């Protein structure tokens, strides 16, 4: 059997199992989704959001990209964010990265990887902000792990710097922002950073004071 054929076969089995356990499962999800969480994660195949959090279809709205970045010119991410925050009205936005992230490892080298250089540039910037702290660590593994953590925190700040989040904070005192890191070795997620609605940002220049309806 071809690898993609197995996916289709297992999908049928999964759908039957779900219906066996809970006959109304699919019907409840047909007309509406009400996820309370937006998850922004790494595209890495070893970090599947629903599986590692034991959540079901309908529970989490998900956006994934290389190294879980929140880039202010990324229309894909921004569209997901706006829809999740303004239409679905999620209560929490979680940026979940992971130790051993290939994107962060690549960004810490001087190698060129083609088009993805432009994406990884964002991580190189995070390294530059924290170079002294990172370079002081003894081993390369520790340095990469620390940049992985700092990169996650930076992306949480990047969320807080969007007018989408700031407008929602003003209007409905939500969502909470979280930075989490997943450990490939044991499957455990460790919370790193949390920003509550309305909390002051790392620099006041990022706080908008005229957020109207069209902001
Ligand atoms: Co990764």
Choosing from 28, 46, 171, 172, the catalytic residue is: 46
Rounded to a whole number, what is the largest CA-CA distance in the chain? 59
Choosing from 63, 101, 145, 146, the catalytic residue is: 101
pLDDT value, residue 212: 72
Ligand 1 centre to CA of 42 (Å) is: 5
In a domain, 88, yes or no: yes
pLDDT value, residue 214: 55
In a domain, 44, yes or no: yes
Catalytic-residue membership of 46: yes
- Provide the domain count of the chain: 2
CA-CA distance, 175 to 198, in Å (whole number)?
10
Tell me: do 125 and 181 sit in the same domain.
yes
Ligand 1 centre to CA of 87 (Å) is: 28
In a domain, 212, yes or no: no
Tell me: do 9 and 25 sit in the same domain.
yes
Tell me: do 4 and 89 sit in the same domain.
no
pLDDT value, residue 211: 87
Tell me: do 25 and 118 sit in the same domain.
no
Q: At what angle do helices 75-82 and 163-172 cross, to 10 degrees?
A: 10
What average pLDDT does the structure give for the chain? 96
Phi, psi of 77 (to 5 degrees): -60, -45
CA-CA distance, 175 to 173, in Å (whole number)?
7
Ligand 1 centre to CA of 103 (Å) is: 6
Instruction: Flag whether pLDDT at 215 surpasses 60.
Output: no
pLDDT digits 0-9 by tens, 85-104: 999 999 999 999 999 999 99
Ligand 1 centre to CA of 106 (Å) is: 10
Catalytic-residue membership of 98: yes
- Domain with 7 in it: 1-31
Catalytic-residue membership of 42: yes
In a domain, 162, yes or no: yes
In a domain, 214, yes or no: no
Question: What's the chain's length in residues?
Answer: 215
pLDDT digits 0-9 by tens, 128-172: 999 999 999 999 999 999 999 999 999 999 999 999 999 999 999
Percentages helix, strand, coil for the chain (3-state, rounded to 5) are 50, 15, 35
pLDDT value, residue 207: 94
Cis preceding-peptide flag for 156 (omega within 30 of 0)? no
Catalytic-residue membership of 96: no
Q: How confident is the model at residue 57 (pLDDT cuts 50, 70, 90)?
A: very high
In a domain, 11, yes or no: yes
Ligand 1 centre to CA of 130 (Å) is: 20
């Amino acid at each position: 059997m071809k690898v993609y054929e197995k996916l289709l076969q297992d999908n049928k089995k999964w759908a039957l199992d779900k219906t066996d356990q809970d006959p109304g499962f699919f019907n409840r999800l047909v007309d509406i989704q009400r996820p309370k969480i937006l998850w922004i994660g790494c595209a890495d195949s070893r970090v599947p959001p629903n599986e590692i959090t034991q959540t079901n279809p309908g529970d989490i709205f998900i956006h994934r990209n290389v190294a879980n970045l929140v880039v202010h010119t990324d229309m894909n991410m921004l569209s997901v964010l706006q829809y999740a925050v303004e239409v679905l009205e999620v209560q929490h936005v979680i940026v979940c990265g992971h130790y051993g992230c290939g994107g962060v490892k690549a960004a810490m080298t001087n190698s060129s990887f083609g088009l993805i250089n432009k994406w990884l540039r964002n991580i190189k910037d995070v390294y530059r902000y924290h170079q002294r702290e990172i370079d002081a660590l003894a081993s390369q593994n520790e340095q990469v792990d620390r940049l992985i953590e700092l990169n996650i925190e930076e992306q949480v700040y990047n969320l807080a710097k969007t007018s989408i989040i700031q407008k929602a904070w003003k209007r409905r005192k939500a969502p909470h922002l979280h930075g989490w890191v997943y450990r490939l070795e044991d499957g455990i997620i460790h919370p790193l950073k949390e920003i509550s609605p309305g909390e002051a940002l790392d620099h006041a220049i990022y706080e908008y004071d005229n957020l109207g309806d069209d902001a």
